[in-house]
Structure 1
């Protein structure tokens, strides 16, 4: 009976808000295009300008540094303004900046300036925005809703590598940036302009209808922890540390996966195809994980997912690995590793509620950014120092085991969903 009630409630939410899910998924996919395709641009840019792999990888790291410093501030903007007023301007700026990478001249100063502007755009389109949109709108189907929206990154991982490889081979790396920025970006902007309307917008309309009495009310007047309470919560510390570890290891693998596969004897075109397979499997992983999160404790779902992810690093350590092992490694990484943002978004909402979700998840986004920035440069530095990615793979294996241990140790979370449902009914 409980499952039937859940299913009917979830179906009702999806009938009302499927357009929001589609717009947010495409919007989030666009924010992941550069990360997913960076590995294809490393070689041609390095060859043309004589740059090291660490320097070429630094563009993602510059973005991550800015996100680390400013994500908490932009999280408070979500609590104050909602997601729509953040996402649409950010997507427009991001599309223009990606296209502008076609104008690189070999100046490192120009490289740093362009990526700094890109970093500003990402602050308004981080996972915080899309996660807040779903969490503010969905209750019974929150886990699956997050899975559908955050599948956007898996979609980018599936399409971007083979698409970027095709564009580079056909038009050159400069025009590839133009196609990725203005093509994909335009679709994301149009859909979000039309359909990105979530719980924050519903609450804003209710405040306006309430007149002067609603003017001073919080944009989302629901239960949850204050920022000070969240700071003292040991569960949040476990989630935070685990998040940093996961992002450091998995983003390093994603950015360097093409060179890593080349190291075990896979040519670039085949490696791009394998990366695409991982992205497609990642979509399935997010959907399955979302359904599991709505039925089972998130600490168990997250713990087993990270445990599975550790096997990817071991399989890629296999010298002269057969095709089956390589494909298995990419599929496991796509399935398990692709759920990391979904897990941290769900876990944060589960343990803090939505009262100050934007601000609290903004702090989590800082750790996501720190790990995302450290991982690519660390991977490049390891290769430049040792001439192999083997130390990176062993380190990733150990970090995934530690992350799994931290998530398994979480305590049961409060029943925020019931409290939020009661507040909405009232």
Structure 2
């Protein structure tokens, strides 16, 4: 629960950005690409810093990263209420937010689960990463209510300090992981000063991971699907308004999609514990492509629009769960933090490119149709890459060598 709520807070600003685009653009005269750039600035810093912060996880564990990061993130979100219209101030605030995000991104929460669970790892990841679906469900209608009731400035304060405080308190009380278990065992054995890594278990080295073709497939697939889906998440409110849905109803649809996303993560987690992730992941991501087809339907009926949001919420929300599970399955836990830190860089690159690309497309053509067509093609490619993965290695030998499953 602590990790799920902590991860939900890291997804709040992404889920809320679409609702802040219009009031901020109207007040300061900014383009949609500029207002969307905050998420992209965060993504750039995450792309650059994730490998380094991944090594910190291997060295210190997740608790010592997550709690300070959540505190800084809460303060920065609240500080967005002080915007004056200066683009330099906008860039500076988001730069600090990006530093906080490095300590609270998916690498931290997936490492907490993967270091603790084995047989139930898929469902464990599903439960924790449902936090992002929770944020997607609650944030749009909540942010819409706060903006209408208190203005966009106070809405940032409520989202930052309110949600952030809950996440911090839960993590202080309950966030523990496999790194903590190993650390306490060493201290009890009088090996507090041991130079051995915390996760001294079988798995690939960083050099071996760089040469693994399956990891390259996972990495490329992840970058592609993040570019497509985060563009839709950030711009979903304007996209729905463009196809004829009023703003309040659009926020309700986005929230409903988030609730369906929770179901998707739990079902996918249970399937990952029973069936090959290449089939579970490939089919799940393939289903996401129908979202864009339905949104491109001229004069689409309400049922089609609702179906599009439900499918996207169910399938698209599992992408972090899939990459976390697949990375641990194909690399082992020996250097998981460092290796998944590199994966997180690609997640950040796609997350940063998607929103700005979506804003630029709308500014350039005055419509989101080119974005939806491009996202449809990218989703198909992403699913095909996962279908081509080989069988899992077996991480049972003490030397960390892998045998074919």
Please indicate the TM-score interval, normalised by the length of the shorter structure. over 0.9
Q: What is the deviation of 1:214?
A: 6.5
Matched, 1:307 2:286: yes
What residue number does 2:54 align with? 75
What residue number does 1:175 align with? 154
- Mapping 1:92-241, distance limit 5 Å: 92-212=71-191, 215-241=194-220
Q: What is the deviation of 1:210?
A: 2.5
Please point out which of 319, 327, 332 is paired with 2:298. Answer: 319
Matched, 1:287 2:258: no
Q: Deviations over 1:134-156 (max 9, x none)?
A: 00000111000000000000000
Residue pair 1:207, 1:217 contacting (<8 A) in 2 also: no
Unmatched segments (≥5 aa) in structure 2: 401-405
Residue pair 1:208, 1:215 contacting (<8 A) in 2 also: no
Q: Deviations over 1:341-368 (max 9, x none)?
A: 0000000000000000000000000000
Query: Hey, what's the Cα distance between the residues in 2 that align with 1:300 and 1:350?
Result: 14
Query: Hey, what's the Cα distance between the residues in 1 that align with 2:17 and 2:37?
Result: 10
TM-score normalized by structure 1? 0.93
Residue pair 1:99, 1:179 contacting (<8 A) in 2 also: yes
Query: Hey, what's the Cα distance between the residues in 1 that align with 2:51 and 2:299?
Result: 45
- Mapping 1:288-367, distance limit 5 Å: 288-367=267-346
Q: Deviations over 1:11-32 (max 9, x none)?
A: xxxxxxxxxxx00000000000
The size of the alignment, in residue pairs, is 399
Provide the alpha-carbon RMSD of the alignment.
1.1
Query: Hey, what's the Cα distance between the residues in 2 that align with 1:281 and 1:87?
Result: 27
TM-score normalized by structure 2? 0.97
Q: What is the deviation of 1:218?
A: 1.4
Matched, 1:370 2:349: yes
Query: Hey, what's the Cα distance between the residues in 1 that align with 2:197 and 2:317?
Result: 33
Displaced runs of 4 or more, over 6 A:
none
Query: Hey, what's the Cα distance between the residues in 2 that align with 1:270 and 1:155?
Result: 18
Q: Deviations over 1:14-56 (max 9, x none)?
A: xxxxxxxx00000000000000010000000000000000000
Please point out which of 254, 261, 277 is paired with 2:240. Answer: 261
Query: Hey, what's the Cα distance between the residues in 2 that align with 1:43 and 1:95?
Result: 23
Unmatched segments (≥5 aa) in structure 1: 1-21
Residue pair 2:183, 2:192 contacting (<8 A) in 1 also: no
Query: Hey, what's the Cα distance between the residues in 2 that align with 1:262 and 1:413?
Result: 44
Residue pair 2:62, 2:108 contacting (<8 A) in 1 also: yes
Residue pair 2:32, 2:363 contacting (<8 A) in 1 also: yes
What residue number does 1:275 align with? 254
What residue number does 1:26 align with? 5
What residue number does 1:56 align with? 35
User: Match of 1:32, SS?
Assistant: helix
User: Match of 1:222, SS?
Assistant: coil
Query: Hey, what's the Cα distance between the residues in 2 that align with 1:237 and 1:214?
Result: 36
Q: What is the deviation of 1:215?
A: 1.0
Residue pair 2:231, 2:357 contacting (<8 A) in 1 also: yes
User: Match of 2:202, SS?
Assistant: coil
- Given the superposition, is the C-alpha separation of residues 213 and 80 from structure 1 closer, same or farther in structure 2, using an over 3 Å criterion? closer
- Given the superposition, is the C-alpha separation of residues 162 and 226 from structure 1 closer, same or farther in structure 2, using an over 3 Å criterion? same
